[in-house]
């Protein structure tokens, strides 16, 4: 590896030791030897024997019992990664500082180098734009005097970087996803506006490009008043930092701030690294069993099944019986002969035939014993719906760990505890602890951390949305959200997946699985617990900005996940993508019976960064033939109260033929909504989604249900329609871009 010292452009090699060092000023003889000795002295100061390897620098820091790498050390590491910096030479006297200034032959900056000083600028440890020897000497004295009570390694002398677009790049460790990278514009953009993006490391090339384009200040990078930044070079810099962090697990935090981006290239002006315990690569035993038979079992035993109405054991077994589960059922209850006419057994070990899935509904204190008995009987999937575990405190956590140890030793997969099991309409299996009415076989998969909440949603939503699978995960002792996402995505009956999550246990694996799944099936996630009170750290600017919710948003975007803001938003999006195709263009065609709602729709389209489509001349002429004489606008098309189902159908068919129309918003009258159903469901819209807006739809729910069952999503406001179309279009764009 080559160690370079900025002001010394010529190369001198020590071939005997296999070392190349940039040295000399093109000088020979005495002057060249002086500079050669000086370079070796510089390396000795930071404890490096003719190398700038990361390991050497980290080892030196360890010997000095410090976790903070000083600027000159970090820049040596960065240069070793082919990352361009302003570099840093160390002066230990005024004369050395002046000599370095002379060699640079341009304005310089002086900076304190001390293991005790992390934020140099805030404490007077930086002097900028020094143009003569007197200024250099005075700045040196001021810095030394200001830090008499600190351990001072020396003073860094470096070239003043020419101004460019200022950005910040950082790395911090997230408790869920491990190392994450932050990117944003510097100055006010990051300090006040917090216009930053986050991604989980490692980054792909697409990730790097996307996090640059995500920030609101991206326009300044693309070009402003004839000046543009080298975005490809910036992308490559992000990838190099990602590689550096992956190769060196000791890096806990990193800030490159500022970095100046130029029309060609960039310079890292200041840098710091905080070390920590080396990250242990997340490891997990290979899956003990895949989960297919958990979702499609041939037999289920309910341990704690009850014949007493109102008990949870009664609810679960009743759901399985009343929904006509296609496999065999075994109620386990030592006090019952039969339940719902099905022979009961005192213990699971008394069942004479193999059992695929055991559902446990007994008190928490005896659950580990029941788990062990199930394992001894050869059962490969256990669903613990009982509560009273980690959510209750230390004793509950102890019981959980005991269960996990038992299940792991047998290679058994365990769902829960504190969950509501699985509903799979495609095999008529309903394990819910709440009584569930009739369900239709559907294409929506729902994975929920809150079991009762998920079951409760079905009561009303089943009228307008058809769920295929509802899987609850509870405390995620073994099977977690990533396992569920992976398995549900493989089900041919499911074409969109919703998730309600309070936490993510799968870490980086969750990102990788979501990225793969979202290429073929949209993944919509509602993440609760949003807060600005993420973990703060005084050592790293990046860490102080990495609020928990910001990281989740960035990582979800990295995984191709559509993030919902609340339950209504999640299900509004789910019914849109489950019923309608993804739009290929951003042009929206609006049809309305009320001018005001047409204007509101047009505003909503623009607010969601879509646009109104423009029909081709021939199609405009056809449209004018449909319009009443008093109607002039062609988008939005306002038919006033003369609009009927046949007119809407003909208008949509004109829009379908336009190359500029990607989707439709149709504003319909609630009082005659039913009259539109047959017309709209008969349209061949050729891959162009239709969203219906019905103001006051809650007063026309019978017709709303008819419209939804005809495949047309119905919303209360134009804003909801425009939001759904925009989300669908951008998801389609992402799929195309990342292929």
**656 or 542, higher pLDDT:** 656
Q: Is the pLDDT of residue 283 over 60?
A: no
pLDDT above 80: residue 23: no
pLDDT band at 528 (very low <50, low <70, confident <90, very high): confident
Between CA 39 and CA 46 the distance in angstroms is 11
Q: How confident is the model at residue 531 (pLDDT cuts 50, 70, 90)?
A: low
How many residues are recorded in the chain? 739
pLDDT digits (tens, 9 = 90+) for 367-420: 999 999 999 999 999 999 998 888 888 999 999 999 999 999 999 999 999 999
- Banded pLDDT at 739 (limits 50, 70, 90): confident
CATH of 581-738, picked from 2.30.29.30, 3.40.50.261, 3.90.1150.10, 3.40.980.10, is 3.40.50.261
**Of 113-117, 229-233, 605-609, 704-708, the least confident:** 113-117
Domains in the chain: boundaries: 1-51, 292-494, 581-738
pLDDT at 21 over 50: no
- How far, CA to CA in Å, does 197 sit from each of 344, 403, 430, 554, 736? 57, 40, 41, 6, 22
Lowest mean pLDDT among 22-31, 90-99, 186-195: 22-31
Give pLDDT tens digits for 31-63: 333 443 444 455 444 444 434 578 899 999 999
Q: What is the pLDDT of residue 179?
A: 96
The confidence score (pLDDT) of residue 73 equals 93
For residue 670, name the pLDDT band (cuts at 50, 70, 90). Answer: very high
The yes-or-no verdict on residue 423 having pLDDT over 70 is yes
Contacts of 121 (CB under 8 A, 6+ apart): none
Provide the pLDDT for residue 124.
86
- pLDDT at site 187: 76
> CB under 8 Å to 89, separation ≥6 — which residues?
5, 6, 7, 42, 72, 100, 156, 157, 158
What CATH code is assigned to 292-494?
Answer: 3.40.50.720
For 462-488, write each residue's pLDDT tens digit. 778 889 999 999 999 999 999 999 999
Over residues 596-653, the pLDDT tens digits come to 999 999 999 999 999 999 999 999 999 998 888 777 789 999 998 789 999 999 999 9
The string of DSSP codes covering 83-145 is --B---EEESSHHHHHHHHHHH-S-EEEEEE-TT-S-TGGGT-EEEEE-SHHHHHHHHHHHHH
CA atoms within 13 A on the CB side of 10: 12
Give residue 654's Cα distance to chain centre: 39
pLDDT for position 630:
76
Sorting pLDDT into bands at 50, 70 and 90, what band is 118? confident
Of 204-208, 258-262, 457-461, 632-636, give the lowest mean pLDDT range: 457-461
pLDDT bin (cut points 50, 70, 90) of residue 261 is very high
Determine the straight-line distance between the first and last CA of the chain, rounded to whole angstroms: 37
Share of the chain above pLDDT 90, in %: 70
Whether the CB-CB separation of 435 and 318 falls below 8 Å is answered with: yes
Whole-number average pLDDT of the chain: 87
Contact 136, 144 (CB under 8 A): no
- For residue 334, is pLDDT > 70? yes
Per mean pLDDT, which range of 286-290, 632-636, 637-641, 704-708 is the poorest? Answer: 286-290
pLDDT score of 5:
35
The model's confidence at residue 723, banded by pLDDT at 50, 70 and 90, is: very high
**Reduced to 3 states, what is the DSSP secondary structure of residue 718?**
helix
pLDDT confidence of 225, banded at 50, 70, 90?
A: low
Same fold, 292-494 and 581-738: yes
pLDDT tens readout for residues 562-603: 999 998 999 999 999 999 999 999 999 999 999 999 999 999
pLDDT tens sequence across 492-524: 999 999 999 988 987 899 999 999 999 999 999
Spacing of C-alpha 695 from chain mean position = 34
């Amino acid at each position: 590896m080559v160690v370079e010292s900025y002001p010394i452009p010529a190369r001198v090699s020590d071939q005997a030791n296999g070392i190349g060092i940039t040295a000399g000023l093109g000088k020979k003889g005495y002057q060249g030897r002086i500079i050669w000795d000086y370079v070796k002295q510089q390396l000795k100061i930071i404890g490096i024997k003719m190398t700038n390897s990361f390991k050497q620098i980290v080892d030196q820091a360890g010997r000095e019992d410090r976790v903070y790498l000083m600027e000159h050390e970090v820049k040596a590491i960065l240069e070793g990664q082919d990352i361009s910096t302003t570099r840093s030479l160390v002066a230990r006297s005024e004369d050395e500082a002046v000599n370095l200034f002379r060699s640079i032959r341009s304005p310089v900056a002086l900076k304190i180098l001390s293991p005790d000083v992390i934020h140099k600028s805030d404490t007077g440890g930086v002097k900028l734009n020094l143009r003569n020897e007197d200024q250099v000497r005075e700045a040196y004295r001021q810095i030394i005097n200001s830090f008499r009570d600190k351990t001072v390694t020396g003073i860094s002398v470096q070239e003043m970087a020419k101004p460019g677009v200022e950005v910040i790049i950082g790395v911090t460790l997230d408790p869920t996803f491990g190392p994450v990278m932050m990117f944003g514009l510097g100055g006010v953009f990051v300090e006040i506006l917090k216009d930053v993006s986050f991604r989980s490391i490692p980054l792909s090339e697409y990730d790097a490009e996307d996090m640059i384009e995500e920030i609101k200040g991206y326009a300044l990078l693309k070009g402003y008043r004839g000046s543009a930044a080298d975005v490809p070079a910036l992308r490559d810099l992000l990838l190099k930092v990602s590689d550096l962090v992956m190769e060196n697990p000791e890096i806990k935090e990193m800030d490159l701030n500022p970095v100046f981006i130029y029309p060609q290239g960039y310079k890292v002006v200041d840098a710091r690294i905080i070390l920590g315990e080396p990250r242990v690569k997340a490891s997990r035993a290979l899956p003990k069993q895949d989960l297919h038979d958990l979702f499609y079992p041939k037999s289920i035993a309910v341990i704690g099944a009850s014949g007493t109405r109102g008990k949870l054991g009664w609810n679960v077994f009743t759901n399985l019986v009343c929904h006509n589960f296609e496999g065999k059922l075994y109620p386990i209850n030592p006090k019952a002969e039969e339940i719902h006419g099905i022979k009961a057994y005192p213990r699971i070990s008394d069942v004479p035939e193999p059992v695929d899935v055991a559902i446990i509904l007994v008190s928490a204190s005896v659950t580990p014993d029941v788990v062990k008995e199930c394992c001894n009987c050869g059962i490969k999937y256990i669903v613990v719906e009982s509560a009273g575990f980690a959510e209750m405190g230390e004793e509950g956590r102890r019981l959980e760990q005991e269960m996990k140890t038992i299940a792991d030793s047998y290679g058994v997969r365990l769902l829960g505890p504190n969950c509501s099991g699985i509903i799979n309409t495609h095999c008529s299996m309903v394990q819910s602890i709440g009584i569930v009415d009739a369900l239709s076989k559907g294409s929506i998969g729902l994975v929920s951390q809150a079991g009762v909440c998920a079951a409760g949603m079905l009561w009303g939503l089943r009228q307008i949305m058809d769920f295929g699978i509802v899987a609850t995960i509870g405390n995620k002792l073994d099977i977690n959200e990533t396992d569920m996402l992976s398995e549900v995505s493989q089900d041919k009956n499911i074409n969109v997946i919703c998730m309600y999550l309070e936490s993510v246990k799968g870490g980086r694996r969750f990102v990788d699985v979501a990225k793969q799944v979202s290429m073929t099936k949209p993944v919509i996630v509602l993440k609760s617990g949003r807060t600005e009170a993420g973990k703060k750290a005084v050592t790293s600017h990046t860490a102080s900005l990495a609020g928990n919710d910001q990281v989740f948003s960035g990582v979800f975007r990295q995984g191709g996940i559509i993030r919902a803001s609340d339950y209504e938003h999640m299900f509004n999006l789910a019914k849109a993508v489950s019923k309608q195709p993804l739009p290929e263009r951003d042009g929206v065609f609006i049809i309305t019976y009320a001018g005001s709602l047409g204007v509101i729709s047009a505003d909503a389209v623009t607010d969601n960064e879509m646009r109104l489509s423009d029909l081709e001349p021939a199609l405009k002429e056809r449209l004018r033939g449909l319009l009443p004489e008093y109607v002039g606008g062609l988008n939005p098309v306002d038919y006033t109260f003369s609009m009927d189902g046949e007119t809407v159908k003909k208008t949509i068919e004109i829009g379908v033929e336009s190359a500029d129309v990607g989707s439709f918003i149709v504003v319909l009258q609630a009082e005659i909504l039913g009259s539109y159903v047959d017309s709209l469901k008969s349209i061949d819209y050729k891959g162009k989604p239709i969203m219906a807006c019905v103001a006051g739809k809650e007063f026309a729910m019978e017709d709303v249900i008819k419209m939804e069952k005809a495949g047309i999503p119905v919303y209360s406001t134009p804003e909801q329609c425009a939001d759904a179309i925009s989300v669908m279009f951008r998801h389609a764009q992402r799929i195309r871009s990342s292929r």
